[in-house]
Amino acid sequence: MLQKILVVDDDDTSREILAELLEEKYEIIHARDGREAIGILAIQMGTIEAVLLDLVMPNLDGFGFLKEIKKKKWKANFPIIVVSGNDDEENREACRRVGVNFFISKPYSSEEAHRVIKEAIESKKNK
């Protein structure tokens, strides 16, 4: 059985590209924004191995999503990997302040995506 990865991005093309890169090793679940992702996690908690999170989305953006899962005390259940085209150090530091230490840059590289996801999942198992 494949491990489940939740991809949260409002851009259909970005979600599809990630799904194509990852579908051989992971079952991909899609969410269009943070609200949809919270709903999916509420139902599938314990089955999601990692969340790939875009920061800029309507309804509930990436930082709003991170605040919600912190309030719900869900953060320890899965690693979060920020997927962003805004890959500057200021953005990464803002993510680190809220406990996110894994990043994948747009445009996607298959090798980078697989390496970072594997590292994130292994880091959670080692905690």
Domain that holds residue 32: 3-125
DSSP 8-class letter at 75:
G
Our measurement of the distance from residue 103's CA atom to the centroid of its chain's CA atoms, rounded to an integer in Å, reads 9
Report the domain count for the chain. 1
Band the pLDDT of 89: cuts 50, 70, 90.
confident
Q: What is the pLDDT of residues 96-127, one digit of tens each?
A: 888 898 999 888 889 999 999 999 999 987 76
pTM of the model: 0.94
CATH number at residue 23: 3.40.50.2300
Task: Check residue 84 and give left, alpha or beta (phi > 0: left; psi -120 to 50: alpha).
Answer: beta
Q: What's the rounded mean pLDDT across residues 67-77? A: 88
